[in-house]
Amino acid sequence: MAREIERKFLLTDDSWKAAAYQQTDFAQGYLTPLQGAAKSSVRVRIEGSVANINIKSLEIGLSRDEYEYAIPLADGEKMLTTLAVGPVIKKTRYLVKHGEHIWEIDEFFGDNAGLVVAEVEMRAENETVLLPNWVGREVTHEARYYNISLSEYPFKDWSEDEKK
Amino acid sequence: MAREIERKFLLTDDSWKAAAYQQTDFAQGYLTPLQGAAKSSVRVRIEGSVANINIKSLEIGLSRDEYEYAIPLADGEKMLTTLAVGPVIKKTRYLVKHGEHIWEIDEFFGDNAGLVVAEVEMRAENETVLLPNWVGREVTHEARYYNISLSEYPFKDWSEDEKK
């Protein structure tokens, strides 16, 4: 079990793309519905050619308990096809190093096309993060930017106010 | 991924207990609520001193898709404590060999005390199973006997009719 501590931001432009040193295609879906009594999200993800299952406690904010286990690719593909609740999310994740941190920038496709979100993972909640100049508004505490929410309420259905 | 094919029965007496060649204590809980849009159950189980996570398609009847992965014991214990939806189910599982089949007999405790269920796993839906004389009514198609249901609607709350 790990404790995930991360901050999420929107982006001001796409100047980060030139600095990306890695990009990987992701397909992911959730086995748990967002509505209901679940205390965790259960996510199946295909990351390039490997698959994993990930369980995160459902707390909005900086830090959450996280468990992740590698699973056979064929299992991951079958689960996304037959057991995912809501549409499978597709995105490309870019990695950009800035100062001491690795930034993960997710560019979404399909129903979430147009949405780009940057995340930075920290070792402690009070850790100082040097913000790149392509980083805009912080959305760490806004539930609609969580992937589990994007699978049920995708970016294409957001109002203009919600997209700001 | 495996396809689980099994039949469930109630028991007529406890004469099976003398024939049990193994018994193991189980503690298990579900990360997915029974109510809601989930297409699968996600179960965390401590079995003796090992833990696993198990995903089964939610279909009532003989056969279901099943995925199971070993996880660290400490992860399993933390998930049962912090992420389980509803009470953790505790039971002892006994194994009894009869003819060509291994029978799993679950004796429940806590809110499900008094309930004993026998399951037999088969290789094909049309496979002939020799029924031991301690096997009673078949409950394969009765949802309330599924463990995920027992965690939300335990045996202690059943009507006398439901217990027959």
Closest CA to A91 of A163, A19, A24: A24
Max intra-chain CA distance, chain B: 43
HSE-up (13 A, CA, CB side) for residue A87: 15
Give the one of A33, A39, A82 whose C-beta lies nearest to B57's C-beta: A82
Q: Is residue B111 over pLDDT 80?
A: yes
Region B93-119 average pLDDT: 95
Which residues of chain B from 104 to 143 reach within 8 Å of chain A, CB to CB? none
ipTM of the assembly? 0.78
Burial class (CB in 10 A: 0-12, 13-18, 19+), A160: exposed
CA dihedral A137, A108, B39, A157 (to 10 degrees): 70
pLDDT in tens, A5-54: 889 999 999 999 999 999 999 999 999 877 677 889 999 999 999 999 99
| pLDDT one-digit tens code per residue, A77-97 | 999 999 998 889 999 999 999
Q: What is the pTM of this model?
A: 0.80
Spell out the residues 6+ positions from residue B147 whose beta carbon is closer than 8 angstroms to its own: B28, B30, B43, B89
Q: Which residue of A has its CA nearest to B77?
A: A1
Residues facing residue B22 across a β-bridge: B95
Residues 17-56 of A with CB under 8 A from B: 31-33, 35-40, 42, 53, 55
Interface check B75 vs A, CB under 8 A: yes
Q: Where are the domains of chain A?
A: 2-163
Is residue A7 within 8 A of residue A140, CB to CB? The reply is yes
A74 and B1: CB-CB below 8 Å? yes
Pick the CATH number of B2-163 from 1.20.1250.20, 3.30.230.70, 2.40.320.10, 3.40.50.300: 2.40.320.10
Question: Taking all residues of chain B, what is their mean pLDDT, rounded to a whole number?
Answer: 91
What mean pLDDT is predicted for residues A107-131?
92
With tokens 């995925």, the residue in question is B67
Beta-strand pair A22-30/A85-98: antiparallel
Condensed to tens digits (0 to 9), the pLDDT of residues A98-118 reads 999 999 999 999 999 999 999
**Residue B107 identity (one-letter amino acid):** E
